[in-house]
């Protein structure tokens, strides 16, 4: 008996698991056809006189019952099959790369596939994430939609105009992407590459990193594995369709439709979940076998360099996470989106390499050719992926507009950091005015400053408020900080809800998107971010941020400080051209303990005059 080893063994194991999945599909079909087969046997036996007679009432009743039950089962099975076939599996929102805009990148992938002796991916796309994978986009629902719309690009990835780029046109090899694949020859999947890899990694590192991913196209185009994957993805999409269809309709639906809709979709979801449970273990083992076969086949291509590339993956993930949460998120909250996130990750990782001893020596690689040179217009691709990142991680509009405009890194300190501080300081002082209007000490004379208008916006006023003794039962022992934090939470939530409604009423919300207007497409609905970067901030955190903003405004206006950008920590206060990173502890002492001693000492050291009014927005 011949022992099979290497990539062939993994491919055989994956095919065996795929056949197990297909057997479950065949079993489900057989179960659905079994009552019809019984009805056919009874009817044929009655016609030939082999089973009962035409005058036998018992056999006649049995034939009618079995025939009626078979029709019901066939109708239910047809309904479930229709939902499974027509349901659109979820696709990852990506930025497509046409071959004419990245011929060198396509050639690198083709050469890699040739070395691995596997089919080349059908297309390449970018995603704003530190990961790379193959994605099957040959489901009949997607193929039907692309044929109906007569587009020259992937339907979920309709390119949007980017500054400095030409309008969308037929790409080289577009017929390979959109045409229906020939029967018996499954189309190769799409290669999705994390955009930070292209800007941070060198060409050789990217090739080594993509080797095991591209090697997965070999098992992916096997007919049995492709069919099993389509079946599992169709079941998963059917479960999602059943979950959405079973929800109460918000429109004026007829009563009969509302009564039938929920149990019908409930039955479809139950059958799909039952089949998924049966396929789960086999599908998981199939994917493990495919990954093992791809990894084994890629051993012969740049194995030593792949170890170095994997180290860069961890570094890139750390820098990308810090850039999104500390640098991009404050800009997104201000209605601005950094248009060069991928270029910014290089600066963030260079700074991380300088600070972290574990990353020493990585910056010496920067003299080699970066992988982004494989793109004809890296700036346009960077801008497109930056907008997609804002859409996915923050929930912003899909198109730039007056309230959603790009910002360059050079203008970030003035247009984002300074505006952020001024807006938060203005919000804090507005709430202080409202609190003073609502809560006046009984029998106390009005303050002289309030006799002619609102109190001036000074840092001293904020400090006095947070260190004052409780003026009533609404305040606690720490000077009213909890009440102010609660009001801040309500105010920020109200402003964010208003911004979401404004985005939802924009032109992009009602326009028909790439999905043809159906729900679930992240380009046209679901303004909540698909992958929130951070949980909602607590009232204490909001209060600390607003007090910090007030301190920074006072430092800029009275001590000659300036707003700045730290690639790993986001907005920064520059005093004498150097970043002051020691403000967090004094502010927390004031907010949490009502102790203004550390903050006043810090203000005296920097030269800030808290009694001077600050400039608000």
Other CB atoms within 10 Å distance of the CB of residue 286: 26
d(CA 291, CA 282): 14
Q: In this prediction, what percent of the chain has a pLDDT beyond 90?
A: 48
- The phi and psi torsions of 337 (rounded to 5 degrees) equal -125, 120
54-58, 78-82, 482-486: range with highest mean pLDDT = 78-82
- Per the document, the length of the chain is 617
List the end-to-end C-alpha distance of the chain, in Å, as a whole number: 81
DSSP class of 417: I
pLDDT beyond 50 at 92: yes
- What is the pLDDT confidence band of residue 470, given thresholds at 50, 70 and 90? low
Q: Which residues of 469-496 are buried (b: 16+ CB within 10 A; e: fewer)?
A: eeeeeebeebbbbbbbbebbbebbeeee
Residues 89 and 237: beta-carbon distance below 8 Å: yes
- What is the pLDDT confidence band of residue 439, given thresholds at 50, 70 and 90? low
The predicted structure's pLDDT at residue 180: 40
pLDDT beyond 60 at 39: yes
Instruction: Please give the structure tokens belonging to residue 167.
Output: 């309008």
In this structure, of 72-76, 129-133, 290-294, 393-397, the range with the lowest mean pLDDT score is: 393-397
Mean pLDDT of 470-479: 52
In this structure, of 148-157, 270-279, 468-477, the range with the lowest mean pLDDT score is: 148-157
Q: Which residue has the higher pLDDT, 327 or 50?
A: 327
The predicted structure's pLDDT at residue 16: 94
Residues 292 and 10: beta-carbon distance below 8 Å: yes
- What is the pLDDT confidence band of residue 362, given thresholds at 50, 70 and 90? low
pLDDT beyond 90 at 496: no
Mean pLDDT of 374-403: 90
Mean pLDDT of 550-558: 95
3-state secondary structure of 5: coil
pLDDT beyond 70 at 154: no
To the nearest whole number, what is the mean pLDDT of the chain?
Answer: 80
Instruction: Please give the structure tokens belonging to residue 582.
Output: 């020691």
Q: Which residue has the higher pLDDT, 36 or 440?
A: 36
pLDDT beyond 90 at 8: no
DSSP class of 474: T
Q: Is the dihedral of CA 506, 508, 512, 515 positive or negative?
A: negative
d(CA 584, CA 108): 48
d(CA 474, CA 78): 63
Burial class (CB in 10 A: 0-12, 13-18, 19+), 367: exposed
- What is the pLDDT confidence band of residue 361, given thresholds at 50, 70 and 90? low
pLDDT beyond 50 at 526: no
d(CA 41, CA 61): 15
Residues contacting 451, CB < 8 A, separation 6+? none
- What is the pLDDT confidence band of residue 517, given thresholds at 50, 70 and 90? very low
99-108, 310-319, 397-406, 530-539: range with highest mean pLDDT = 99-108
Nearest to 246 by CA among 230, 229, 259: 259
What confidence tens digit (pLDDT) does each residue in 224-273 have?
999 999 999 999 999 988 888 755 544 555 666 667 778 888 899 999 99
The predicted structure's pLDDT at residue 416: 95
Q: In this prediction, what percent of the chain has a pLDDT beyond 70?
A: 76
Mean pLDDT of 175-191: 57
Please give the C-alpha separations between residue 278 and each of 101, 273, 282, 301, in angstroms, as whole numbers: 44, 9, 8, 37
Q: What is the pTM of this model?
A: 0.80
What confidence tens digit (pLDDT) does each residue in 104-135 have?
999 999 999 999 999 999 999 999 999 999 99
d(CA 412, CA 337): 10
Residues 245 and 96: beta-carbon distance below 8 Å: no
Mean pLDDT of 297-302: 85
The predicted structure's pLDDT at residue 53: 61
Q: Which residue has the higher pLDDT, 146 or 324?
A: 324
Nearest to 383 by CA among 153, 161, 110, 135: 161
Residue 519 β-bridge partners: none
pLDDT beyond 80 at 284: yes
Q: Which residues of 33-43 are buried (b: 16+ CB within 10 A; e: fewer)?
A: eebbebbeebe
DSSP string, 85-111: HH--------EEE-GGG-HHHHHHHHH
Mean pLDDT of 422-450: 69
Mean pLDDT of 311-320: 88
- What is the pLDDT confidence band of residue 308, given thresholds at 50, 70 and 90? confident
What confidence tens digit (pLDDT) does each residue in 320-338 have?
999 999 999 999 988 899 9
Question: Which residue has 């949490």 as its token pair?
Answer: 592
In this structure, of 75-79, 155-159, 323-327, the range with the lowest mean pLDDT score is: 155-159
pLDDT beyond 50 at 521: no
pLDDT beyond 80 at 503: no
What confidence tens digit (pLDDT) does each residue in 569-598 have?
999 999 998 999 999 999 999 998 889 999
Residues 429 and 459: beta-carbon distance below 8 Å: no
The predicted structure's pLDDT at residue 195: 95
CA angle, 147 then 150 then 156, to 5°: 75
Question: Which residue has 């203005």 as its token pair?
Answer: 426
Residues contacting 30, CB < 8 A, separation 6+? none
Q: Is the dihedral of CA 74, 77, 78, 79 positive or negative?
A: positive
- What is the pLDDT confidence band of residue 341, given thresholds at 50, 70 and 90? very high
**DSSP alpha helix (H) spans, 137-254:** 140-149, 174-178, 195-200, 203-214, 217-220, 223-245
Burial class (CB in 10 A: 0-12, 13-18, 19+), 447: exposed
């Amino acid at each position: 008996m011949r022992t099979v080893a290497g990539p062939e063994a993994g491919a055989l194991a994956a095919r065996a698991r795929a056949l197990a999945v297909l057997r479950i599909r065949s079993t489900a079909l057989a179960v659905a056809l079994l009552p019809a087969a019984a009805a056919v046997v009874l009817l044929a036996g009655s016609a030939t006189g082999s089973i009962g007679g035409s005058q036998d009432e018992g056999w006649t009743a049995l034939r009618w019952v079995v025939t009626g039950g078979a029709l019901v089962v066939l109708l239910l099975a047809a309904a479930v099959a229709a939902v499974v076939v027509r349901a659109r599996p979820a696709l990852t929102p990506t930025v497509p790369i046409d071959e004419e805009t990245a011929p060198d990148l396509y050639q690198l992938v083709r050469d890699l596939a040739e070395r691995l002796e596997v089919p080349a991916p059908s297309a390449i796309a970018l995603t704003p994430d530190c990961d790379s994978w193959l994605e099957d986009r040959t489901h009949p629902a997607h193929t039907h939609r692309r044929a109906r719309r007569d587009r020259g690009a992937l339907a979920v990835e309709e390119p949007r105009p980017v500054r400095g780029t030409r309008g969308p046109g037929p790409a080289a090899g577009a017929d390979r992407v959109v045409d229906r694949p020939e029967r018996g020859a499954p189309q190769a999947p799409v290669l999705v590459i994390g955009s930070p890899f292209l800007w941070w990694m060198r060409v050789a590192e990217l090739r080594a990193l993509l080797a095991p991913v591209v090697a997965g196209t070999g098992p992916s185009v096997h007919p049995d594995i492709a069919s099993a994957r389509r079946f599992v993805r169709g079941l998963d999409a059917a479960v999602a369709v059943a979950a959405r269809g079973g929800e109460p309709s918000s429109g004026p639906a007829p009563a009969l439709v509302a009564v039938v809709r929920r149990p019908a979709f409930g039955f479809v979801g139950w059958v799909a979940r039952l089949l998924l449970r049966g396929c789960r273990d086999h599908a998981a083992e199939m994917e493990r076998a495919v990954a093992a076969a791809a990894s084994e086949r890629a051993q012969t291509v740049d194995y030593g360099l792949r170890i170095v590339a994997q180290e860069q993956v961890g570094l890139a993930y750390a820098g990308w996470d810090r850039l999104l949460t500390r640098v991009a998120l404050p800009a997104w909250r201000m209605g601005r989106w950094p248009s060069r996130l991928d270029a910014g990750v290089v600066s963030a990782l260079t700074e991380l390499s300088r600070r972290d001893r574990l990353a020493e020596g990585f910056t010496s690689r920067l003299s080699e050719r970066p992988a982004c040179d494989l793109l004809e217009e890296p700036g346009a691709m960077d801008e497109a992926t930056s907008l997609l990142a804002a859409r996915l991680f923050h929930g912003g509009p899909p198109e730039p507009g007056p309230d959603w405009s790009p910002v360059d890194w050079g203008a970030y300190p003035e247009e984002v950091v300074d505006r952020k501080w001024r807006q938060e300081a203005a919000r804090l002082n507005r709430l202080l005015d409202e609190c003073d209007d609502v809560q006046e000490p009984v029998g106390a004379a009005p303050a002289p400053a309030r006799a002619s208008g609102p109190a001036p916006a000074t840092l001293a006023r904020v400090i006095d408020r947070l260190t004052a003794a409780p003026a009533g039962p609404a305040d606690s022992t720490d000077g009213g900080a909890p009440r102010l934090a609660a009001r801040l939470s309500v105010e920020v939530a109200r402003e964010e809800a208003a911004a979401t409604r404004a985005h939802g009423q924009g032109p992009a919300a009602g326009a028909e998107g790439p999905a043809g207007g159906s729900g679930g497409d992240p380009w046209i609905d679901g303004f909540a971010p698909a992958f929130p970067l951070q949980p909602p901030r607590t009232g204490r955190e909001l209060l600390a941020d607003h007090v910090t903003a007030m301190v920074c405004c006072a430092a800029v206006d009275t001590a000659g400080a300036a707003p700045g950008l730290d690639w790993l920590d986001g907005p920064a206060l520059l005093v004498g051209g150097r970043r002051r990173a020691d403000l967090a502890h004094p502010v927390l002492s004031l907010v949490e303990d009502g102790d203004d001693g550390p903050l006043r000492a810090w203000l005296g050291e920097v030269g800030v005059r808290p009694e001077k009014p600050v400039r608000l927005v």
